[in-house]
Structure 1
Amino acid sequence: MMKWAVLLCAVLALSECSVRVSLIKGKSARDALEEKGLWNEYRLKYPYNPMAKFGQSYAVGYESMTNDADMSYYGVISIGTPPQSFLVIFDTGSSNLWVPSDYCGSAACNNHHKFNPSLSSTFKSTNQPLSIYYGTGSMTGFLGYDTVGVGGIQVPHQIFGLSQTEAPFMAYMKADGILGLAYPRLSSAGAQPVFDNMVQQGLVQDYFSVYLSSKSQTGSEVIFGGTNPNHYTGSLIWVPLSSETYWQITMDSITVNGQVVACNGGCQAIVDTGTSLIVGPNSDIASLNSYVGATTSNGDAVVNCNNIASMPVVSFNINGHSFTLPASAYTRQSYYYGCRTGFGNGGSDLWILGDVFIREYYTIFNRGTNSVGLAKAV
């Protein structure tokens, strides 16, 4: 299966690298819950316990992410003692953490931050090799252990990859590396993912949530062990996983104006923060693009920018619920290339609900119940 995330952020990312802190201004959490009609339900389910913070309890890790031209989302983590900082893509479609290292001489490493093991008093090498393959290249290196800081939480004895070679296209990535948030069974070399280590060590509860801003705005965040009701409205719809490798679910169909145009009879889809587009089987994507009025040019699904307001809504029908995307959500305008849809060929039967979808739906990834929760993002 084509892993689109790295390729697209490498080739299409436009804005300069910057890291911004996400702030919630002018509205308390209770205000937000009351406004959505959820306060009574919330306080009954989670009774107020003012002494909880003085006892042993879980932390909540708030990690702000930079939106890079709606094509990739990344935040800052640290590795080592004293900490060395790196930009990483938080990717629910993979499971390994890796960053460039001082042992790497590839062009992609030379224009990114490199981890220097000799500067960390807590680093331990395993000499175990690591290879991770993406759709257009790979990274190779070895595994080591060190303290990883993410979202204000320190995760001791975390295994991670130190790259020794990286594919040429990675030189164009804004991020230095990738932090995978899928299941351990997907992890290369059996390396335990960061989130699993956080949960196993009792640092956070066993779920995390993601909000992706649109139009390069600030505010994107991933929250480990918590949610942010300011970023969604209405009730959460919980969808059970069909496989515990990726965050994989069963999709019933995709419809336009009530007519099934793709995923006829049902299909499998993964919810993937690390993929920019919505990706599907070639024939289904061709059908979907045709129904919304796109034409193919040089592999892109092109639309007339003047027609976006009149283009149809696309409905992704999942677990008996309809999750709709207006044309303004599934099209993107580029200064250089005009307007294109966010529906791309994947060369596989597996669909990927990437950032185009997640921007519209606040997503909770729940390991305790092996499910994803979806609610309309605001």
Structure 2
Amino acid sequence: MKDVALKKYKFSKKVIEKASSEHVKDHGFHGNRDEHSSSKQSTTIIKDIQFDLSYYAKVLIGNQKFNLLLDTGSSNIWVPSKNCTTASCRNHNDYDLNKSPTFKKEGNLWSITYGTGSASGVTGKDNVKIGGFTAKKQIFGLADNVSNDFLNLESDGILGLAFDSLNTMDNQAPTVVSTLINQKTINPLFSFHLGRVSDFDDDSTFTLGGVDKTKFKGEISFNPVVKTPIIDTIAFWLINADDASVNKKRLGFTGKKGLIDTGTSVILMPDDDAKKVHDQIPGSSFDPVNGVYIIPCDTKASVAFIFKGISYPLDPRDLILTPLDGTRCVSNIFPGFNFDGNNDIWLLGTPFLKNVYSVFNVGKRSVGFARNK
């Protein structure tokens, strides 16, 4: 899991380094733009992949159904093409352009690498429906090659929800969310409630154009998105962090940022930061061979991340990645992340996001958190 996350952001760094030497489009949406219209929001149930690793939604491209992983850490949308012959394509739903009367050919080459593998192919345009809304003439990827890393994933492809500057198709093509906003179809925001597979009756939800008020309580506290280093523009959902704590003891971090990623299944921190956290977890130890921390499986430690003065604690269950034996488990917080060379970014994936209701406001370029009900 650690290697998966590091691989994903190694490729993302290459994308933004390339973009920094070219003209970067700014598809930011400023102002309210009718954010509170109830007719411009829709909530859909999303499904869990492999014990809360990530989450996928049902999506229609043209007249064909797909299960797409929802990823705020990337911006491409792609599905396997009928022409793809790799094993990962053969056991997933694939797109047949001859079956869609609304398909328009583009044929531009694209490729992308994730922690879980890679995909490449050509671009096309078709209508993309998710929830109650349709992004018309959306640029998407027809994958002619999908690596075998995707073989056992429930999702057919990926729907990226970061900013357009990360899209590797057609020189930062608009994402699905950008297209829906440009078409004035949705309010310029989306939100998540990520449930646990162990909580049987708690459905995970994805809301386009608003929030699912049945899933959170109290107020939503918003944090402005800051520019991604290297590219010097808005790219990832990156926000300033105040600090972190263990068992309510603040650890004294300053100048840190949180990268909020629904498509990453762990928490990654710079080496010293991960050590500082685990030093306060009773019974923890470092495994230098595998580069992971080992913690007691029955830990009751309360690790929290603090944004705009508000502490968001993790359920101790979410500190556990996997058991080693009857008493020792691998921690879900990993060392080794140094995305920008300054050791100041924390990658906060699903172990964090299961503990908050998260709102991604494209119009105001901010990320909001609220308490789960």
**For this structure pair, what is the TM-score category when the shorter chain's length is used for normalisation?**
0.7 to 0.9
Question: What does residue range 306-325 of structure 1 map to in structure 2 within 5 Å?
Answer: 307-308=298-299, 311-325=300-314
Does the aligned pair in 1 maintain the 2:246–2:280 contact within 8 Å? yes
Aligned partners of 1:62, 1:315: CA distance in 2, in Å?
Answer: 28
Does the aligned pair in 2 maintain the 1:250–1:318 contact within 8 Å? yes
Report the equivalent of 1:221.
205
Q: Secondary structure at the match of 2:214?
A: helix
Structure 2 residue identity aligned to 1:302: I
Aligned partners of 1:5, 1:172: CA distance in 2, in Å?
Answer: 20
Does the aligned pair in 1 maintain the 2:248–2:302 contact within 8 Å? no
Report the equivalent of 2:60.
78
Deviation at 1:2, TM superposition (A): 6.5
Once the two structures are superposed, residues 332-354 of structure 1 have per-residue CA deviations (whole angstroms, 9 ceiling, x without a partner) of: 45598963322123532331111
Deviation at 1:290, TM superposition (A): 3.6
Deviation at 1:249, TM superposition (A): 0.2
Aligned partners of 1:336, 1:213: CA distance in 2, in Å?
Answer: 26
Once the two structures are superposed, residues 93-149 of structure 1 have per-residue CA deviations (whole angstroms, 9 ceiling, x without a partner) of: 111101111121111111111111111111111110011122353211111000111
Q: TM-score, with normalisation over the residues of structure 1? A: 0.79
Once the two structures are superposed, residues 264-299 of structure 1 have per-residue CA deviations (whole angstroms, 9 ceiling, x without a partner) of: 222122111111111111332233234223334544
Question: What does residue range 120-159 of structure 1 map to in structure 2 within 5 Å?
Answer: 120-135=100-115, 137-159=117-139
Report the equivalent of 1:32.
none
Aligned partners of 1:232, 1:299: CA distance in 2, in Å?
Answer: 36
Match of 2:217 among 223, 230, 233: 233
Report the equivalent of 2:17.
none
Does the aligned pair in 2 maintain the 1:261–1:284 contact within 8 Å? no
Report the equivalent of 2:366.
371
Deviation at 1:171, TM superposition (A): 1.1
Does the aligned pair in 1 maintain the 2:116–2:150 contact within 8 Å? no
Once the two structures are superposed, residues 217-272 of structure 1 have per-residue CA deviations (whole angstroms, 9 ceiling, x without a partner) of: 3410110012112111122111111122111101122222455547x222122111
Match of 1:162 among 136, 142, 153: 142
Q: TM-score, with normalisation over the residues of structure 2? A: 0.80
CA gap of 1:165–1:347, structure 2 versus 1, over 3 A, is: same
Does the aligned pair in 2 maintain the 1:160–1:191 contact within 8 Å? no
Structure 2 residue identity aligned to 1:67: D
Q: Which moved more, 1:327-336 or 1:159-168?
A: 327-336
CA gap of 1:201–1:2, structure 2 versus 1, over 3 A, is: farther
**RMSD (CA atoms):** 2.6
CA gap of 1:188–1:365, structure 2 versus 1, over 3 A, is: same
Match of 1:248 among 238, 242, 253: 238
* Unaligned segments of structure 1, at least 5 residues: 8-44, 47-51
Structure 2 residue identity aligned to 1:288: V
Once the two structures are superposed, residues 55-86 of structure 1 have per-residue CA deviations (whole angstroms, 9 ceiling, x without a partner) of: xx843222211123111211110111xx1111
Structure with greater helix percent: 1
